[in-house]
Structure 1
Amino acid sequence: MAAMTDQTLPPLQFLPLIKPLPWGGRKLETLFAKTLPADLPCGESWEVVDLPGEQSVVAAGPWQGRRLAELIELRRQELLGEAELLLGRFPLLFKLIDAAQTLSVQVHPDAEAARRLGGEARPKTEAWYILQVEPGAHLYVGLEEGVSLDDLRRGLADGRVEPLLRRVPVQAGDFIYLPAGTLHAIGAGIVLAEIQQASDTTYRVFDWNRVGLDGRPRQLHVEQALASIRPELAGRPGHAAPASGRPGIRCRFFTFERVRLDAGGQVPLDAGRPRITCCLEGSAQVSCGRDQPLRLSRGDSCLVPACRSESLQSPDGATLLLVRVGDSG
């Protein structure tokens, strides 16, 4: 582990946390050069995370080996600036997802439902950026028009859930906003990037009658899910466009946008709140004051502390995602 340093926190790159999951594939390896365990389907790469038992660890530099939670404890103001913690944790989680099979039909609670359900429930609003779509692939977002929660309960009892769900065709480059309380599932053949509130609370309502990697059916949370679903959310954007004018989503928890840099181009990263960036195409770098810039290849992510006023640069052109922590944790 790196020793303590008096230097201002630099832009930080973390070791990815790879998640073997029964619905995953191998595209995190082929598209983004992630190192995956052999012969296991892998569904997610957690790029920035601060949850109990799940911690981003700095990959290199003067803070190598430090967990994100440690950095918050040691350098909270530098890292967070104006941003607030979410239940004592860094407020956002960023991940890459490869859905070789359709994910479970699930919902995440909003703050009110999380309080009502108690226990370890944490609220989660999230958004997706679609990276790759196989022909015919689609999402499920919300219930079909006219379908009630009672209809869903009956469908669960009968094993007929798919006809009740609203199918949403997508293509690469689409942004999808999922406020907490939205019933949803990622369809087979989709690769995407996800930004979310820092929560791992997921209530599975239906898992397509499959088993997990241990050969047993995965746990369902039907009553908690039904208590969390907000049917009125399906098909309603509920968000604004980024102030920059770039494609993306802005809500009170985050701004999530796509940045395209021409060769030699740059975009300023204003200080004040933490920012996360991920390189999708080409190569880029994040300026580091007088130090060497942090270089990003395809699939690389980094966290820029709130104290740093830097810029995204690309010598040859690049496409990146840029996240800025919002006004509310």
Structure 2
Amino acid sequence: MFHNLQSTDLKSEIRNSKSEIPSPLTFEPIFMERIWGGRRLESEFGKTLPAQKLIGESWEIVDRPEAQSIVRNGPLRGKTLHELWTQHRHDVFGDIPDAPRFPLLLKLLDAHQKLSLQVHPPETAAKGLGGEPKTEFWYVAAAEPGAELYLGFRESITRDQLENALRDGTAADHVHKIRVRAGDAVFLPAGRLHALGAGNLLIEIQQNSDTTYRVFDWNRVDDQGKQRQLHIDRALQCIDFNDVRPRLLLPEGELLLHHKLFEIQKWHLDSPRELAPCGQFAITCCLTASIHCAGVDLKPGEFFLIPAQLQDRRLHPQAERTTLLRVTIPGRGD
């Protein structure tokens, strides 16, 4: 995932670009219209959505060629996330593994309808297919009664059997389904066949990638009467056919997931607490109530980034029990 692509001069420039950062950084969300989206990001989280659009995704923190988070507060206001990564690396992110871009992408997902049955490529397959590897984590922020996730297979299956099922329209019958409720979480390693069922409102934390291979899209059409493109040949090269009946994550205390790409904890706050030690950055997403830190307030469905060199880094819950997700990237020795 991470490659040492920076020159010595650029590394020196990044380390020496000191700046006073007095508060957590917040970013302008980027709303993505999707055929399966809805308006729940507005009703549940108070997002100001484009009128009369079905919004399926809000890209909250992103550093991609086609999409850039923009800082909306403090002296770095107007800077892109990529500018922070290349010009203010030490102050904002501390000492983390090198990468050409910030290595995570954080989103909110509103599935008014179910998403396509799909897979993201593992690193080895991605290289041969011209895509990017993509491993994900989902946290269910809200779920309508009966909401489901489609994850892996119900029983062992071969590639030939899945191809036959795709031809005769029965592929979904082979997929393992799990009913979910608010607070559930799941790990989606690259190669896992999956789909997000209707009625789910999710927080997604993922590898910085936008490569998706659709296997089946429930025969739906867009407003022009056209079906979306499928990528069956490429998907079949990526799917883990031994991925049978995967389970939801079982928390270990506050820890939801520790992986080489990201660590995710769930905190319940009833008193002030430091999000991360000085020298380490962290991202938080508020789940319930609200949080205050160094002059910045965070409401449910909002994210902020605690810079590595921020001095005032204590989170102050604004209710008796405030819940949040804490996201970090493991260090070089973790």
Name which of 262, 267, 270 aligns with 1:259: 267
Structural mapping, 1:134-153, within 5 Å:
134-153=144-163
Tell me the residue number matched to 1:91.
103
What is the Cα deviation at residue 82 of structure 1? 2.4
What is the Cα deviation at residue 90 of structure 1? 0.4
**Could you say what secondary structure the match of 2:242 adopts?**
helix
Q: Does 1:168 align with 2:178?
A: yes
Tell me the residue number matched to 1:128.
138
Name which of 7, 26, 35 aligns with 1:13: 26
Name which of 212, 232, 237 aligns with 1:202: 212
Tell me the residue number matched to 1:306.
308
Tell me the residue number matched to 1:290.
none
On the 8 A contact 1:5/1:62 being kept in 2, the answer is: no
CA spacing shift, 1:246–1:125, aligned 2, 3 Å = same
**Could you say what secondary structure the match of 2:237 adopts?**
helix
What is the Cα deviation at residue 273 of structure 1? 3.9
RMSD between aligned alpha carbons? 2.2
Tell me the residue number matched to 1:62.
75
Distance 1:326 1:238 in 2: 22
CA spacing shift, 1:215–1:36, aligned 2, 3 Å = farther
What is the Cα deviation at residue 84 of structure 1? 2.3
On the 8 A contact 1:265/1:314 being kept in 2, the answer is: yes
The one-letter amino acid paired with 1:321 is L
Distance 1:304 1:285 in 2: 12
CA spacing shift, 1:23–1:191, aligned 2, 3 Å = same
On the 8 A contact 1:58/1:68 being kept in 2, the answer is: yes
Tell me the residue number matched to 1:24.
37
What is the Cα deviation at residue 37 of structure 1? 1.3
Distance 1:91 1:44 in 2: 19
Distance 1:238 1:207 in 2: 24
What is the Cα deviation at residue 226 of structure 1? 0.7
Name which of 275, 282, 291 aligns with 1:284: 291
Name which of 305, 324, 330 aligns with 1:320: 324
Identity %: 43
CA spacing shift, 1:247–1:172, aligned 2, 3 Å = farther
Distance 1:155 1:99 in 2: 25
Tell me the residue number matched to 2:6.
none
Runs of 4+, deviation exceeding 6 Å = 237-240
The one-letter amino acid paired with 1:280 is L
Q: Does 1:193 align with 2:191?
A: no
Deviates more, 1:169-178 or 1:302-311: 302-311
CA spacing shift, 1:155–1:269, aligned 2, 3 Å = same
The one-letter amino acid paired with 1:194 is E
Deviates more, 1:136-145 or 1:315-324: 315-324
What is the Cα deviation at residue 211 of structure 1? 2.2
What is the Cα deviation at residue 147 of structure 1? 2.1
Distance 2:117 2:199 in 1: 16
- What TM-score comes out, normalization by structure 1 length? 0.89
**Could you say what secondary structure the match of 1:231 adopts?**
coil
On the 8 A contact 2:184/2:249 being kept in 1, the answer is: no
What is the Cα deviation at residue 272 of structure 1? 4.2
CA spacing shift, 1:134–1:13, aligned 2, 3 Å = same
What is the Cα deviation at residue 237 of structure 1? 6.4
Distance 2:66 2:223 in 1: 20
Distance 1:307 1:214 in 2: 51
Task: List per-residue Cα deviations over 1:140-173 (Å, max 9, x = no partner).
Answer: 0012212222211111111222101111111111
On the 8 A contact 1:277/1:323 being kept in 2, the answer is: yes
On the 8 A contact 2:18/2:91 being kept in 1, the answer is: no
Structural mapping, 1:185-264, within 5 Å:
185-212=195-222, 215-236=225-246, 245-262=253-270, 264=271
Tell me the residue number matched to 1:178.
188
On the 8 A contact 2:156/2:241 being kept in 1, the answer is: no
- What TM-score comes out, normalization by structure 2 length? 0.87
**Could you say what secondary structure the match of 1:232 adopts?**
coil
On the 8 A contact 1:14/1:59 being kept in 2, the answer is: yes
Distance 1:238 1:253 in 2: 19
> What stretches of structure 1 of length at least 5 have no aligned partner?
288-292
CA spacing shift, 1:65–1:223, aligned 2, 3 Å = same
Tell me the residue number matched to 2:48.
35
CA spacing shift, 1:236–1:178, aligned 2, 3 Å = same
Distance 2:35 2:115 in 1: 9
Name which of 113, 121, 134 aligns with 1:109: 121
**Could you say what secondary structure the match of 1:15 adopts?**
coil
> What stretches of structure 2 of length at least 5 have no aligned partner?
1-16
Distance 1:26 1:8 in 2: 35
Distance 2:122 2:283 in 1: 23
What is the Cα deviation at residue 282 of structure 1? 0.7
